[in-house]
Amino acid sequence: MAPVNALVLTGYGTNCEQESAYAARQAGADSADIVFFSDLAAGKVRMADYNFLICPGGFLDGDDLGAAQAAALRWRHATTPDGRPILDQFKEFFESGAVILGICNGFQLLVKLGLLPAVDGKYFERQVSLSYNDSARFEDRWVHLKVNPNSPCVFTKGLDRLHIPIRHGEGKIIPKDEALLERLQSDNLIALQYADPESGEPTMEYPFNPNGSPLAIAGLTDPSGRVLGLMPHPEAYNHPTNHPAWTRGEGGTLGLALIEGGVRHLKRN
């Protein structure tokens, strides 16, 4: 089986890199290095040495200009010392068959870069954005998720329902038009949806859907299935005792299972 080497990005306001790296190791990654974006740009680290990229949560640049917008501009304009655009590394990394996971602020970054949802294979072209929660406030709670069994997403294979935490102020999906929203559904690029805790079905009801995202979208994948972006934090549920009701024997599938899906795909391919 191929070794899985995870690169966990940090810097500029990221604050979930430690638990993301820990979760990657717990999920079976052979290594998980926390790397500053500035070290990528300085040429001290190469993305080509890894095959699993995790963009963790946090508050990139204080969410100025909109969540992860400043970071996306940094990716688009930064160059290595030899003058090569850093975004070229990212494109080659993806084209090599690597898998990419964007969590919360990391999801916002992948969306702003245009890596998700890439309808019609239009990668690095922005098609959706993420904006303020309908509640107009920061939401910090646990949510139930329904997994789309028809999604090509490698991270969600074999999963059905999840219960993991969210903590964000800008988690509502904003498509460029209604036609795109329909394509997300018809192409099964909606990998995860906020669900009613009783029925397990997608819901627009607050607080089960914490941000008002249309079609209850909690996570998106791309046509290849190798990229997943989601607002909830799977890395924050890496042990049964993380669950608020663990002493009552409640909890279910760990959020770690999503990361395990990415690791399993790489080991098999």
Structure tokens at 119: 């309808």
Residue 85 DSSP SS3 = strand
Task: Tell me which DSSP letter residue 59 carries.
Answer: -
Structure tokens at 87: 């975004």
Amino acid in position 245: A
Name the helix (H) or strand (E) containing 162. strand 161-168
Q: Identify whether the C-beta of residue 232 lies closer than 8 Å to the C-beta of residue 255.
A: yes
260 is catalytic: no
Rounded CA separation 192/221 (Å): 9
Nearest CA to 147 out of 39, 225, 56, 89 is that of 225
205 is catalytic: no
CA distances to 40, 188, 231 from 151, in Å: 32, 5, 17
- List 17, 19, 170, 235, catalytic entry: 235
163 is catalytic: no
Q: Identify whether the C-beta of residue 266 lies closer than 8 Å to the C-beta of residue 52.
A: yes
- List 104, 144, 168, 243, catalytic entry: 104
* Residues annotated as catalytic (active site), given as ranges: 104, 233, 235
